[in-house]
Chains A and B, each alone.
Chain A
Amino acid sequence: MQQQQQGGGGSEMVVTWDDQQNINKFGRLNNRFHELEEEIKIAKETNDNLEDASNELILTDEEVVRFQIGEIFAHVPKEEVEDRIERMKQTTSKNLEQLEEEKESVLSQMAELKKILYGKFKDSINLEED
C-alpha cells in the first residue's frame, strides 16, 4: 500500500506539520478512491443483474415468480415482483450516481494536493501508483 515514497538524494528536506497533513490527506483520499472503484463495480453489476431480471420477467408467462428474499425463494405474484425490481433498480441507480459523484470529488481533491505537494517537494516525493 506504499504508494508514495520520498526519494530525495540526501538533500535536507524540510517537512512541516501542514505538509505532513497534506500527505496524510492524499493517502486517505487515495484509499477512498480504490474503495469507491470497488463499490462502483459492484453497483454496476447489481444494476445489470436487475436489468436482466426485469427482461426475463417480461418474457416469462408464469403468474407466480420465485423471488429471492433473504435465503429463501418466496412465491410472489408477477406484478409484485415487477414493482420490487423497479424499486430496487431506482435505489441502485441513485446509489451508483452518488458513488460516481464522490469519486469525481475525490479525484479533483487528489489533483489539487498533487499540485501543492509536487510544487513544494518536486522530485523528493512520488504520488503515482506503482
Chain B
Amino acid sequence: MASSSSTPTTERRGIPGAQFVEDVQSYLSQSGLDVNSALAFLQERLQQYKLVEMKLLAQQRDLQAKIPDIEKCLDVVATLQAKKGTGEELFADFEVSEGIYSRARIEDSDSVCLWLGANVMLEYSCEEASLLLQKNLENATASLEVLVADLQFLRDQVTITQVTIARVYNWDVHQRRIRHAAAASTAIDS
C-alpha cells in the first residue's frame, strides 16, 4: 500500500487533487462560498472524478486483456524456436472459421510474421520477434502499473471529496440547530 503523505498532493497526471479541509468554517469563509454553493461545487468535482475513473477503468481492462495475448504469442514463438533445431515439422490445428478447424504443417522456419496492428504485418526472425514481444510485454506491464497507481490516487480524491461533502452538510445542520436554539431562547426571553 502506498505510504501516507504528510501533505495532500495537488494533482497527478492531469487529475486535480481534492483539497483537504481542516476546518469547515474557515474553508467556507476562505472560499467565499455559502453552504449550497460549496456542496454544488464538491458534487460537480465528484462527477468529474467519476468520469475520469470510467475512462481509466476501460484502459485498465484493455491492458489486462492485451498482456495475456502477448504472453501467448511469446509461447508460440518459443515453441517454433524449440522445433527449429530438430528438423521436425510441427503439426497444428487452427480455427479457419467458427467451429471449423484445419491442420497446418509448419516446417522449419527462421522467421515469423507479427501482426503490428493497423493492418500491418511484418516478418521477423524468431529471435527478433521474441525480443519485440518481450519489450511489448514489459511496456504493457509498466503502463498497467502506472494506471493502477493513477486509479488509487483518483479513488483517494473521491473519498476525500465524499468526506468533505458529508462534513460541510453536517456543519450546516449543526449551525442551523444552533441558530434555531438561539432564536427559540430569544423568543422565550422577550
Contact = CB atoms under 8 A, between A and B. Distances in A.
Interface string A1-37: 0101110111111011110110111011101000000
Given A10-B170, A21-B4, A72-B93, A27 B156 contact: yes
The interface centre, meaning the residue of B93, B163, B171 with most chain A CB atoms within 10 A of its CB, is B163
A6 B94 contact: no
B182 interface: no
Contacts of A29: 1
Given A5-B166, A70-B76, A75 B91 contact: yes
B4 A70 contact: no
Contacts of B171: 12
Contacts of B7: 17
B166 A8 contact: yes
B48 interface: no
A62 interface: no
Interface of B: 1-2, 4-5, 7-8, 20, 22, 72-73, 75-76, 79, 90-95, 101, 104, 152, 155-156, 159-160, 162-163, 166-167, 170-171, 173-174, 176-177
Given A73-B94, A74-B90, 16 more contacts: A6-B163, A8-B166, A10-B173, A10-B174, A17-B8, A17-B22, A27-B156, A27-B159, A69-B75, A70-B75, A72-B76, A72-B93, A73-B92, A74-B79, A74-B91, A74-B92
Minimum-distance CB pairs A-B, first 4: A10-B173, A6-B166, A70-B72, A75-B91
12 contacts: A4-B159, A6-B166, A12-B171, A20-B159, A23-B163, A28-B2, A28-B152, A28-B156, A70-B75, A71-B72, A75-B92, A109-B1
